[in-house]
Chain A
Amino acid sequence: MKQSKALTVEKELTKIDGGLTLVAYKHLSTGAAVSSMQQSKQYIVPLQQHIGAISQPLVKTGDRVLKGQMLAKPGDLVSAAVHAPVSGLVTDIKAHDIPHASGLSDLCIFIENDFKDEWVERHPLGDDYNQTNSSSMRKIVRDAGIVGLGGATFPSSVKQTEMNVKTLILNGIECEPYITCDDVLMREHAREVISGADIIGHIIKARQCIIAVEDNKPEAIKALQSVIDEDGTGFFKIQAVPTIYPSGGEKQLIQILTGQEVPKGRYPAELGVLCHNVATAYAIHRAVHHAEPLISRIVTVTGHGVTQPQNIEVLIGTAMHTCIEHAGGYTDESDELIMGGPMMGFSLNSDALPVVKATNCLLVTAREENPHKQHHMPCIRCGKCVEVCPVRLLPQQLYWYASSQNVDRLTEHNLFDCIECGCCAYVCPSEIPLVQYYRHAKTTIWQQERERKSSDISRERHEAHQQRLDKIKREREEKLRKKRELLKKKADAQADDKGSSNKSSKQAAIAEAIARAQAKKTERNKNKETG
């Protein structure tokens, strides 16, 4: 059984391949406790805040909604519900710009706040979860619209499989520079995080839970440790991990803790592990113990382009510029607005976009930090990118083949294993935006694949249609042939039946007719003679 391969974390940790030691700038935003914001007049809640199908609205324009009321239900198995962050009126359901790497807009529900803060009716499950079966628990997680808050926003209930998982890994690594939302969450809500982990452990029937935290967060480790000591069941174990980017990647973290690599194209469950982010665990705690859906999250508003960097508890749907204003507004030096960290986050063209479930950080950079040049130098194949790639790719070769659009070679060189962590581009002396090239190549190949598939489908359709026509034609011919045969048979049979009599009757008729004619003739002649 695979289960025997369960973790042996007590052994030493494994180093990831490559990786970077980055200047963290975490202290910028960890100075004060998490602050809360005044409520806004309007909230814009996108229907697509997760990986998977877009959610389907349950309300219409003009409806009054209560805080925590489900606004849209999951559109498919892999999908997530969204909820009203405040009580108020649904003023519109229309397309609006959403924070997404593609920069596209999508359907959003607009809510006008009535500032009554009137909650929907809630029935918290509380500690009864220990007596509740996994599928009912998953339904609670699903109905609360909880998705992976580490950045991937994959619907959590879908991930919580009971298959073979022995070890729950709670990811508190937060390896990107600047971001501290998980750090402060662990510091301030260690008990709730552990409680959430316990619930997940119950759902997936895990035997142990390892909470992995980078060793640059001693306060968080201390806070968690004291809760674990109180717990005393031995289910939880905290593991400090060396600060190397990108240790927080799911595959990288599993490699660090288990020394094993998730097989290409498979899920971590195959190694008997499941990863969840600490913020996800916290959200699950809120859902189970307070019947509170995911309507808010901690957002790190930081960077050298913000006056007072800090962590803020923000309701989903809040406009980003109100978060920035809460953090003292922009400095004169502000340059770009980035959602996420400086390594993997994407820049936004406007601060009028709503905060979504994936918004862990709003980073405003300063002008002098901007590394982007008008032109980049040619690749000199120095191989610095190879040294830092955590996936052991050959970024310089991928770049070469991506520029020449050599799809076969790109696939051979495992383009699709790239996790887009940005380490290669960070060290590139020619300052080539490598990740950009890979993303473009991936999209192009996907596009071609789709086109090939759709042309395959239409060809298949055409062939099926042709076959159907042929079949109909064949059948008709067969039918006709049979009919003809039948007729012929019938005729033959008749002929056989009355064969001789038929003939003689004809002859008799002829003979009769001749006789009649003869008789007439003789009669006429007789009349002439007499007349």
Chain B
Amino acid sequence: MLFKRSPSPHIKQNITVQDMMYKVLYALVPGTLASIYFFGWGVVFNLMIAISVCLAAEAIILKLRRRDVTDTLLDGSALLTACLLALALPSLAPWWITVIASISAIAVAKHLYGGLGFNPFNPAMVGYIVVMISFPLEMTLWSAPLGVGDGWPDFMTTFNWVFLGVLPYGETIDSISMATPIDLIKTQLNQFHDVAETRSNVEYSPLFSTISGTGWQWVNILFLGGGIWLVKKNVADWRIPTAFLISLVLISNLFSVVDYSTNSSAMFHAFSGGTMLCAFFIATDPVTASTTPRGRWIYGASIGALVYTIRSWGGYPDGIAFAVVLMNIAAPLIDYYTQPKVYGDPNR
């Protein structure tokens, strides 16, 4: 009897890239729901626009590259990029911001470099950076979180603003949007109001809560929860988030201990802005991160240091995207110099 031949091994663990992508998406759900709860319809619109544009861009480019469209579209990677991008963008970003960011992410950052597995930079963060550099004003348009003033604008107001650029009569965009806590502390410091002063200011105090910013702290806690589940499921690497958070906490603690009047606490940094989203969902993108065990410690810790640096002294509201992409550049070098010593290596 004759048989066909195939290479060893002849058994296989039942796990696929698709499984991993969808697990990451499930882990995003609690934090996403918190985002919607605290920042309103804008988050929903961001998600809708980003998902449809990212999937459409992916499909068109796959077609142009003569690749199998449905299989690749279903691998979940474009969907994940879309979600991460949508969650990073401000809740009141006009529709074209999201569209430009999505196209930059999928068409440029992902497919021009060869598609899944070949992109050197995190696609979602490249998309974010493109709009951040080009449209800095629109990138600060966060709605007031639930519990602060009137909270987020209603469906129609948000819809009219995001899609048509129209505001209710007599309103300005400043009356429905509000600076994020990180941004607020920075601008206040520039006007010589120290951290405690800003936090106790009657106008600003509702923005702050026990751990960090109102709303922001819950979004971060839930992304942390989803992230821990992801690590437990062995989908995300544990070293990168651990190194990132330890580094961010240590550095911010050092500065706030030395001078608490001009530096926010470690807890504030850990649970503000995109910290937890970055720690477990963005920095852990395996394609663009360092891939050796020791390299991942260095990679994560360096992102933590860069995030703190950009947040504290940089000109942008948050430092996640720049920190991640800067370390993406360094990843191949880190990998090269952090090879483990193999079995029986005489220098071990």
Interface residues of A (CB under 8 A from B): 17, 22, 103, 177, 251, 255, 261-266, 321, 330, 335-338, 342-351, 363, 365, 369-372, 377-384, 386, 390-394, 396-397, 412-414, 417, 420, 422, 425-427, 429-431, 433, 435-436, 439
**Whole-angstrom distance from the CB of B273 to the nearest CB of chain A?**
27
Closest A residue to B348 using CB positions = A261
Tell yes or no: B133 within 8 A of A by CB. Answer: no
Tell yes or no: B335 within 8 A of A by CB. Answer: yes
- Of A337, A342, A392, A436, which one neighbours B3 at CB under 8 angstroms? A337
A392 touches B10 (CB 8 A): no
Supplied contacts A336-B5, A417-B342, 6 more A-B pairs, CB within 8 Å: A321-B1, A337-B3, A372-B7, A392-B340, A397-B291, A425-B8
Closest B residue to A365 using CB positions = B10
B115: A residues at CB distance < 8 A? 378
**Whole-angstrom distance from the CB of A423 to the nearest CB of chain B?**
8
If A350-B3, A386-B291 touch, whether A391 touches B343 (CB-CB below 8 Å) is: yes
A422 touches B8 (CB 8 A): yes
- Of A349, A351, A381, A386, which one neighbours B287 at CB under 8 angstroms? A381
A417 touches B7 (CB 8 A): no
User: How far is B5's CA from A370's CA once the two chains are assembled, in angstroms?
Assistant: 11
Flag the segment in B11-19, B37-45, B171-179 that touches A: B11-19
Tell yes or no: B197 within 8 A of A by CB. Answer: no
If A342-B10, A345-B10, A350-B1 touch, whether A377 touches B291 (CB-CB below 8 Å) is: no
A336: B residues at CB distance < 8 A? 3-6, 10
**Which of A382, A390, A431 has the largest number of chain B CB atoms within 10 A?**
A382
- Of A263, A347, A426, which one neighbours B344 at CB under 8 angstroms? A263
User: How far is B117's CA from A210's CA once the two chains are assembled, in angstroms?
Assistant: 47
A433 touches B7 (CB 8 A): yes
**Whole-angstrom distance from the CB of B216 to the nearest CB of chain A?**
30
**Whole-angstrom distance from the CB of A154 to the nearest CB of chain B?**
18
Tell yes or no: B20 within 8 A of A by CB. Answer: yes
B20: A residues at CB distance < 8 A? 380, 382, 429
A349 touches B2 (CB 8 A): yes
What total of chain B residues lie within 8 Å of the partner, measured CB to CB? 42
Q: Which 9 residue pairs are nearest across A and B when measured between Cβ atoms?
A: A378-B117, A371-B12, A422-B9, A436-B7, A264-B344, A382-B286, A342-B10, A391-B343, A392-B340
**Whole-angstrom distance from the CB of A245 to the nearest CB of chain B?**
10
Q: List 13 A-B contacts (CB under 8 A).
A: A22-B11, A342-B10, A344-B8, A346-B8, A348-B5, A350-B3, A370-B10, A371-B11, A397-B339, A425-B8, A426-B11, A427-B15, A431-B16
If A394-B291, A431-B16 touch, whether A426 touches B9 (CB-CB below 8 Å) is: yes
Tell yes or no: B345 within 8 A of A by CB. Answer: yes
If A379-B117, A417-B343 touch, whether A429 touches B10 (CB-CB below 8 Å) is: no
B13 touches A347 (CB 8 A): no
Encode B311-348 as 1/0 by CB contact (under 8 A) with A: 00000000000000000000000010001111111101
B13 touches A430 (CB 8 A): no
**Whole-angstrom distance from the CB of B18 to the nearest CB of chain A?**
8
B341 touches A392 (CB 8 A): yes
B116: A residues at CB distance < 8 A? 377-378, 380
**Whole-angstrom distance from the CB of A359 to the nearest CB of chain B?**
16
Tell yes or no: B75 within 8 A of A by CB. Answer: yes
User: How far is B286's CA from A427's CA once the two chains are assembled, in angstroms?
Assistant: 15
User: How far is B68's CA from A377's CA once the two chains are assembled, in angstroms?
Assistant: 12
User: How far is B302's CA from A435's CA once the two chains are assembled, in angstroms?
Assistant: 34
B344 touches A338 (CB 8 A): no
B343: A residues at CB distance < 8 A? 17, 251, 255, 261-262, 264, 390-392, 417
User: How far is B343's CA from A392's CA once the two chains are assembled, in angstroms?
Assistant: 6
A383: B residues at CB distance < 8 A? 237, 286, 291-293, 296
Tell yes or no: B96 within 8 A of A by CB. Answer: no
**Whole-angstrom distance from the CB of A47 to the nearest CB of chain B?**
24
B345: A residues at CB distance < 8 A? 264
B9 touches A348 (CB 8 A): no
B342 touches A345 (CB 8 A): no
A343 touches B287 (CB 8 A): no
B5 touches A347 (CB 8 A): yes
User: How far is B117's CA from A430's CA once the two chains are assembled, in angstroms?
Assistant: 10
- Of B9, B17, B293, B348, which one neighbours A425 at CB under 8 angstroms? B9
Query: B residues 105-160 with Cβ under 8 Å of A?
Result: 115-118
User: How far is B287's CA from A392's CA once the two chains are assembled, in angstroms?
Assistant: 20
**Whole-angstrom distance from the CB of B267 to the nearest CB of chain A?**
31
**Whole-angstrom distance from the CB of A260 to the nearest CB of chain B?**
9
B12 touches A426 (CB 8 A): yes
B117 touches A431 (CB 8 A): no
User: How far is B163's CA from A187's CA once the two chains are assembled, in angstroms?
Assistant: 77
**Whole-angstrom distance from the CB of B73 to the nearest CB of chain A?**
13
B341: A residues at CB distance < 8 A? 392
A412: B residues at CB distance < 8 A? 339
**Whole-angstrom distance from the CB of A433 to the nearest CB of chain B?**
5
B9 touches A351 (CB 8 A): no
User: How far is B3's CA from A262's CA once the two chains are assembled, in angstroms?
Assistant: 39
Closest A residue to B117 using CB positions = A378
**Whole-angstrom distance from the CB of B340 to the nearest CB of chain A?**
4
A391 touches B9 (CB 8 A): no
A349 touches B118 (CB 8 A): no
B117: A residues at CB distance < 8 A? 377-381, 430
**Which of B4, B115, B234, B341 has the largest number of chain A CB atoms within 10 A?**
B4
User: How far is B5's CA from A349's CA once the two chains are assembled, in angstroms?
Assistant: 6
**Whole-angstrom distance from the CB of A256 to the nearest CB of chain B?**
12
A390: B residues at CB distance < 8 A? 343
**Whole-angstrom distance from the CB of A521 to the nearest CB of chain B?**
109
A379: B residues at CB distance < 8 A? 117
Closest A residue to B16 using CB positions = A429
**Whole-angstrom distance from the CB of B118 to the nearest CB of chain A?**
7
A345 touches B8 (CB 8 A): yes
If A251-B343, A351-B3 touch, whether A426 touches B13 (CB-CB below 8 Å) is: yes
A17: B residues at CB distance < 8 A? 343
User: How far is B10's CA from A422's CA once the two chains are assembled, in angstroms?
Assistant: 9
Closest B residue to A418 using CB positions = B342
User: How far is B339's CA from A417's CA once the two chains are assembled, in angstroms?
Assistant: 14
User: How far is B4's CA from A444's CA once the two chains are assembled, in angstroms?
Assistant: 24
If A251-B343, A383-B237 touch, whether A394 touches B292 (CB-CB below 8 Å) is: yes
A363: B residues at CB distance < 8 A? 10
A429: B residues at CB distance < 8 A? 15-17, 19-20
